[in-house]
Protein backbone atom coordinates (compact mmCIF):
# COMPACT_ATOMS: atom_id res chain seq x y z
CA UNK A 1 0.00 0.00 0.00
CA UNK A 2 1.23 3.49 -0.84
CA UNK A 3 2.09 5.42 2.33
CA UNK A 4 0.13 8.65 2.62
CA UNK A 5 2.18 11.66 3.67
CA UNK A 6 0.61 14.92 4.80
CA UNK A 7 2.78 17.88 3.79
CA UNK A 8 1.72 20.76 6.04
CA UNK A 9 3.10 23.72 4.04
CA UNK A 10 4.63 24.51 0.65
CA UNK A 11 8.17 23.35 1.26
CA UNK A 12 11.07 23.82 -1.22
CA UNK A 13 10.83 21.58 -4.24
CA UNK A 14 14.21 19.87 -3.70
CA UNK A 15 12.80 17.73 -0.87
CA UNK A 16 9.33 17.35 -2.33
CA UNK A 17 10.80 15.92 -5.56
CA UNK A 18 12.66 13.29 -3.55
CA UNK A 19 9.41 12.22 -1.92
CA UNK A 20 7.59 12.22 -5.26
CA UNK A 21 10.20 9.86 -6.73
CA UNK A 22 9.37 7.32 -4.03
CA UNK A 23 6.17 5.37 -3.89
CA UNK A 24 4.31 7.84 -1.62
CA UNK A 25 0.96 9.51 -1.93
CA UNK A 26 1.52 13.19 -0.99
CA UNK A 27 -1.23 15.49 0.24
CA UNK A 28 -0.07 19.11 0.06
CA UNK A 29 -1.64 21.91 2.08
CA UNK A 30 -1.72 24.57 -0.62
CA UNK A 31 -2.75 27.63 1.41
CA UNK A 32 -0.17 30.24 2.45
CA UNK A 33 -1.25 30.09 6.09
CA UNK A 34 -0.55 27.12 8.38
CA UNK A 35 -3.36 24.73 9.20
CA UNK A 36 -5.28 25.46 12.37
CA UNK A 37 -4.83 22.77 15.06
CA UNK A 38 -8.27 21.37 14.14
CA UNK A 39 -7.49 21.27 10.41
CA UNK A 40 -4.13 19.63 11.11
CA UNK A 41 -5.71 16.88 13.19
CA UNK A 42 -8.47 16.27 10.63
CA UNK A 43 -5.94 15.94 7.81
CA UNK A 44 -3.37 13.92 9.76
CA UNK A 45 -6.01 11.38 10.84
CA UNK A 46 -6.04 9.90 7.35
CA UNK A 47 -2.28 9.81 6.77
CA UNK A 48 0.63 7.59 7.77
CA UNK A 49 3.27 10.31 8.07
CA UNK A 50 3.48 14.05 8.60
CA UNK A 51 5.97 16.57 7.20
CA UNK A 52 5.49 19.66 9.36
CA UNK A 53 7.18 22.77 10.71
CA UNK A 54 7.35 25.08 13.71
CA UNK A 55 3.97 26.71 13.06
CA UNK A 56 2.16 23.35 13.38
CA UNK A 57 0.94 22.50 16.86
CA UNK A 58 1.70 18.86 17.60
CA UNK A 59 0.56 18.65 21.22
CA UNK A 60 -1.36 16.26 23.48
CA UNK A 61 -4.67 17.01 21.70
CA UNK A 62 -3.03 16.18 18.40
CA UNK A 63 -1.60 12.90 19.66
CA UNK A 64 -4.93 11.93 21.28
CA UNK A 65 -6.35 11.72 17.77
CA UNK A 66 -3.28 10.94 15.68
CA UNK A 67 -1.50 8.26 17.70
CA UNK A 68 -1.47 6.11 14.55
CA UNK A 69 1.20 8.23 12.80
CA UNK A 70 4.29 6.24 11.80
CA UNK A 71 6.74 9.16 11.56
CA UNK A 72 6.76 12.93 12.02
CA UNK A 73 9.39 14.82 10.07
CA UNK A 74 9.94 18.40 11.21
CA UNK A 75 11.26 20.98 8.72
CA UNK A 76 13.29 22.94 11.33
CA UNK A 77 16.11 22.48 13.78
CA UNK A 78 13.90 23.54 16.71
CA UNK A 79 11.00 21.27 17.67
CA UNK A 80 9.40 23.00 20.65
CA UNK A 81 6.07 22.88 18.78
CA UNK A 82 6.07 19.08 19.17
CA UNK A 83 5.30 17.22 22.40
CA UNK A 84 8.36 14.96 22.14
CA UNK A 85 7.58 13.13 25.38
CA UNK A 86 4.21 12.10 23.98
CA UNK A 87 5.63 11.15 20.57
CA UNK A 88 8.24 9.00 22.29
CA UNK A 89 5.64 7.44 24.55
CA UNK A 90 3.66 6.48 21.46
CA UNK A 91 6.78 5.17 19.70
CA UNK A 92 6.59 7.77 16.92
CA UNK A 93 10.01 8.83 15.62
CA UNK A 94 10.45 12.59 15.16
CA UNK A 95 12.96 13.72 12.54
CA UNK A 96 14.43 17.23 12.30
CA UNK A 97 16.88 19.18 10.13
CA UNK A 98 19.97 20.22 12.11
CA UNK A 99 23.01 21.91 10.56
CA UNK A 100 21.26 22.86 7.31
CA UNK A 101 20.64 26.39 8.58
CA UNK A 102 23.58 26.98 10.90
CA UNK A 103 25.44 29.34 8.52
CA UNK A 104 22.27 31.21 7.56
CA UNK A 105 21.17 31.74 11.16
CA UNK A 106 24.64 32.76 12.32
CA UNK A 107 24.68 35.34 9.50
CA UNK A 108 21.45 36.83 10.85
CA UNK A 109 22.81 36.93 14.43
CA UNK A 110 26.04 38.55 13.22
CA UNK A 111 24.15 40.99 10.98
CA UNK A 112 21.78 41.99 13.78
CA UNK A 113 24.73 42.60 16.11
CA UNK A 114 26.25 45.14 13.71
CA UNK A 115 22.85 46.60 12.82
CA UNK A 116 22.09 47.28 16.49
CA UNK A 117 25.56 48.65 17.24
CA UNK A 118 25.11 51.17 14.40
CA UNK A 119 21.32 51.74 14.78
CA UNK A 120 20.86 50.72 11.14
CA UNK A 121 17.14 49.96 11.07
CA UNK A 122 16.31 53.21 12.91
CA UNK A 123 18.51 55.29 10.60
CA UNK A 124 16.90 53.67 7.56
CA UNK A 125 13.53 54.80 8.91
CA UNK A 126 14.74 58.39 9.34
CA UNK A 127 15.37 58.56 5.59
CA UNK A 128 11.91 57.18 4.81
CA UNK A 129 10.49 59.82 7.16
CA UNK A 130 12.34 62.64 5.32
CA UNK A 131 14.67 63.29 8.27
CA UNK A 132 18.04 63.02 6.49
CA UNK A 133 19.42 66.48 7.33
CA UNK A 134 23.03 67.64 7.29
CA UNK A 135 26.03 65.51 8.25
CA UNK A 136 26.07 65.67 12.04
CA UNK A 137 29.50 65.27 13.69
CA UNK A 138 27.96 64.23 17.01
CA UNK A 139 24.67 62.67 15.91
CA UNK A 140 23.57 59.11 15.20
CA UNK A 141 26.57 57.61 16.93
CA UNK A 142 26.84 53.87 17.38
CA UNK A 143 29.46 51.73 19.07
CA UNK A 144 32.26 49.50 17.79
CA UNK A 145 32.44 45.76 18.33
CA UNK A 146 36.15 45.10 17.83
CA UNK A 147 37.91 43.32 20.71
CA UNK A 148 34.78 43.21 22.82
CA UNK A 149 33.46 40.13 24.62
CA UNK A 150 30.90 37.89 22.97
CA UNK A 151 28.79 35.79 25.31
CA UNK A 152 27.06 32.80 23.76
CA UNK A 153 24.14 31.17 25.53
CA UNK A 154 24.00 27.74 23.90
CA UNK A 155 27.34 27.01 22.22
CA UNK A 156 26.15 24.34 19.79
CA UNK A 157 25.99 24.18 16.00
CA UNK A 158 24.75 27.74 15.39
CA UNK A 159 26.46 29.32 18.41
CA UNK A 160 29.84 28.07 17.17
CA UNK A 161 29.25 29.62 13.72
CA UNK A 162 28.32 32.96 15.31
CA UNK A 163 31.40 32.85 17.55
CA UNK A 164 33.65 32.06 14.58
CA UNK A 165 32.30 35.06 12.68
CA UNK A 166 32.86 37.35 15.67
CA UNK A 167 36.36 36.03 16.30
CA UNK A 168 37.46 36.28 12.67
CA UNK A 169 35.94 39.70 12.02
CA UNK A 170 36.48 41.45 15.36
CA UNK A 171 38.87 39.30 17.37
CA UNK A 172 36.26 39.11 20.11
CA UNK A 173 36.86 37.16 23.32
CA UNK A 174 34.37 34.31 23.53
CA UNK A 175 32.67 33.25 26.75
CA UNK A 176 29.72 30.89 26.91
CA UNK A 177 27.24 29.12 29.12
CA UNK A 178 25.75 25.71 28.28
CA UNK A 179 24.02 22.89 30.09
CA UNK A 180 27.09 20.78 29.40
CA UNK A 181 30.52 22.06 28.48
CA UNK A 182 31.51 22.01 24.82
CA UNK A 183 35.22 21.18 25.11
CA UNK A 184 35.73 20.87 21.32
CA UNK A 185 34.33 24.36 20.77
CA UNK A 186 36.38 25.74 23.69
CA UNK A 187 39.50 24.56 21.88
CA UNK A 188 38.37 25.73 18.44
CA UNK A 189 37.39 29.21 19.62
CA UNK A 190 39.59 29.65 22.67
CA UNK A 191 36.24 30.04 24.45
CA UNK A 192 35.81 30.16 28.22
CA UNK A 193 32.95 28.48 30.05
CA UNK A 194 31.32 30.80 32.63
CA UNK A 195 28.37 30.59 35.00
CA UNK A 196 25.12 32.16 33.80
CA UNK A 197 25.45 35.25 36.01
CA UNK A 198 28.99 35.82 34.76
CA UNK A 199 27.77 35.52 31.19
CA UNK A 200 25.26 38.28 31.94
CA UNK A 201 27.82 40.48 33.70
CA UNK A 202 30.74 40.10 31.28
CA UNK A 203 29.17 40.04 27.80
CA UNK A 204 29.34 43.12 25.57
CA UNK A 205 27.21 41.19 23.09
CA UNK A 206 25.10 38.32 24.41
CA UNK A 207 23.78 36.04 21.69
CA UNK A 208 21.18 33.33 22.37
CA UNK A 209 21.47 30.02 20.47
CA UNK A 210 19.87 27.44 22.75
CA UNK A 211 16.70 25.39 22.32
CA UNK A 212 13.46 26.51 23.95
CA UNK A 213 12.76 24.16 26.86
CA UNK A 214 11.00 24.56 30.22
CA UNK A 215 14.46 25.43 31.64
CA UNK A 216 15.25 28.17 29.11
CA UNK A 217 11.74 29.68 28.92
CA UNK A 218 12.05 33.41 29.76
CA UNK A 219 15.47 32.82 31.30
CA UNK A 220 16.38 36.30 30.04
CA UNK A 221 14.17 38.50 32.18
CA UNK A 222 14.17 41.67 34.30
CA UNK A 223 16.47 40.48 37.11
CA UNK A 224 18.92 39.15 34.49
CA UNK A 225 18.95 42.26 32.31
CA UNK A 226 19.83 44.35 35.37
CA UNK A 227 22.99 42.25 35.79
CA UNK A 228 24.13 43.06 32.22
CA UNK A 229 26.36 45.97 31.17
CA UNK A 230 24.49 49.18 30.28
CA UNK A 231 26.45 49.03 26.99
CA UNK A 232 25.41 45.42 26.22
CA UNK A 233 23.66 44.25 23.07
CA UNK A 234 21.22 41.34 23.44
CA UNK A 235 20.71 39.13 20.36
CA UNK A 236 18.10 36.37 20.08
CA UNK A 237 17.84 34.30 16.89
CA UNK A 238 16.74 31.10 18.66
CA UNK A 239 13.17 31.26 20.01
CA UNK A 240 11.23 34.29 21.24
CA UNK A 241 9.96 32.80 24.52
CA UNK A 242 13.57 32.47 25.75
CA UNK A 243 13.34 36.18 26.62
CA UNK A 244 10.65 38.04 28.54
CA UNK A 245 9.72 40.74 26.06
CA UNK A 246 8.15 43.31 28.41
CA UNK A 247 11.23 43.05 30.65
CA UNK A 248 13.50 43.44 27.61
CA UNK A 249 11.59 46.56 26.53
CA UNK A 250 11.88 47.99 30.03
CA UNK A 251 15.59 47.12 30.25
CA UNK A 252 16.32 49.09 27.07
CA UNK A 253 14.09 52.01 28.08
CA UNK A 254 15.74 52.31 31.46
CA UNK A 255 19.27 51.87 30.08
CA UNK A 256 20.02 48.56 31.79
CA UNK A 257 21.28 47.39 28.38
CA UNK A 258 22.14 49.30 25.18
CA UNK A 259 19.88 47.53 22.70
CA UNK A 260 18.65 44.32 21.12
CA UNK A 261 18.56 42.47 17.84
CA UNK A 262 15.77 39.95 17.52
CA UNK A 263 14.92 37.49 14.77
CA UNK A 264 12.39 35.88 17.10
CA UNK A 265 9.86 37.60 19.32
CA UNK A 266 7.63 36.69 22.22
CA UNK A 267 4.92 36.29 21.00
CA UNK A 268 5.14 35.84 17.22
CA UNK A 269 4.15 37.51 15.05
CA UNK A 270 5.09 40.81 16.69
CA UNK A 271 2.35 43.43 16.36
CA UNK A 272 3.26 46.58 14.38
CA UNK A 273 2.56 48.88 17.35
CA UNK A 274 5.09 47.09 19.60
CA UNK A 275 7.22 49.79 21.30
CA UNK A 276 10.43 47.88 20.53
CA UNK A 277 9.93 48.63 16.84
CA UNK A 278 10.36 52.35 17.35
CA UNK A 279 13.48 52.22 19.52
CA UNK A 280 16.77 53.50 18.09
CA UNK A 281 18.89 50.64 19.34
CA UNK A 282 16.59 47.80 18.38
CA UNK A 283 16.55 45.82 15.12
CA UNK A 284 13.88 43.21 14.53
CA UNK A 285 13.39 40.64 11.77
CA UNK A 286 10.39 38.34 11.25
CA UNK A 287 11.96 34.94 12.09
CA UNK A 288 14.03 34.53 8.93
CA UNK A 289 17.19 32.98 10.40
CA UNK A 290 17.10 29.96 8.11
CA UNK A 291 15.76 32.01 5.20
CA UNK A 292 18.32 31.45 2.46
CA UNK A 293 17.65 29.39 -0.64
CA UNK A 294 20.57 27.12 0.25
CA UNK A 295 19.42 26.48 3.81
CA UNK A 296 15.75 25.98 3.03
CA UNK A 297 16.53 23.61 0.13
CA UNK A 298 18.83 21.58 2.33
CA UNK A 299 16.24 21.52 5.13
CA UNK A 300 13.65 20.16 2.70
CA UNK A 301 16.09 17.46 1.56
CA UNK A 302 16.91 16.41 5.15
CA UNK A 303 13.23 16.38 6.11
CA UNK A 304 12.38 14.24 3.06
CA UNK A 305 15.30 11.86 3.65
CA UNK A 306 14.14 11.29 7.23
CA UNK A 307 10.87 9.91 5.84
CA UNK A 308 12.41 8.02 2.91
CA UNK A 309 15.08 6.29 5.01
CA UNK A 310 12.53 5.42 7.67
CA UNK A 311 10.32 3.57 5.19
CA UNK A 312 13.25 2.02 3.30
CA UNK A 313 15.59 0.99 6.11
CA UNK A 314 13.82 1.69 9.38
CA UNK A 315 16.34 4.49 10.11
CA UNK A 316 15.80 8.22 10.58
CA UNK A 317 19.12 9.96 9.81
CA UNK A 318 18.35 13.03 11.94
CA UNK A 319 16.16 11.99 14.81
CA UNK A 320 15.12 13.78 18.00
CA UNK A 321 14.03 10.67 19.95
CA UNK A 322 16.37 7.83 18.83
CA UNK A 323 15.20 5.50 21.59
CA UNK A 324 11.93 4.80 19.74
CA UNK A 325 13.99 3.07 17.05
CA UNK A 326 15.99 1.20 19.65
CA UNK A 327 19.17 3.21 19.06
Q: Where on the chain is the footprint of ligand GLV (CB under 6 A)?
A: 54, 76-78, 101, 289-290
Question: In a 10 Å sphere around its CB, with 0-12 CB exposed, 13-18 middle and 19+ buried, how is residue 32 labelled?
Answer: exposed
Minimum CB separation of residue 78 from ligand GLV in Å reads: 3
Minimum CB separation of residue 82 from ligand GLV in Å reads: 11
Minimum CB separation of residue 157 from ligand GLV in Å reads: 11
Q: Which of 20, 42, 268, 294 is catalytic?
A: 268
> Between residues 15 and 78, which has the closer beta carbon with respect to ligand GLV?
78
Q: Does the annotation mark 296 as catalytic?
A: no
Q: Which of 9, 118, 287, 318 is catalytic?
A: 287
Minimum CB separation of residue 292 from ligand GLV in Å reads: 12
> Between residues 78 and 241, which has the closer beta carbon with respect to ligand GLV?
78
Q: Which of 239, 243, 296, 318 is catalytic?
A: 239
> Between residues 55 and 178, which has the closer beta carbon with respect to ligand GLV?
55
> Between residues 224 and 240, which has the closer beta carbon with respect to ligand GLV?
240
Q: Does the annotation mark 287 as catalytic?
A: yes
Minimum CB separation of residue 106 from ligand GLV in Å reads: 13
Indicate which residues carry an active-site annotation: 239, 268, 287
Amino acid sequence: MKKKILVSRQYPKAGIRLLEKENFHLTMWEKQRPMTPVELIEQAKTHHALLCTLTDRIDKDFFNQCAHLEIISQFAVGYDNIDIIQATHLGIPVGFTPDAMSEATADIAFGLMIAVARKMFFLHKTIINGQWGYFNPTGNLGVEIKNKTLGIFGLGRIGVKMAQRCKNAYDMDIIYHNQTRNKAAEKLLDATYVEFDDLLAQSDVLSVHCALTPKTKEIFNGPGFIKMKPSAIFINTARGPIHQEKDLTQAILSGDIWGAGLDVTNPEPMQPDNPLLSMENVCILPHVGSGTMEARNQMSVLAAMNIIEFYKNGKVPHIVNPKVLGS
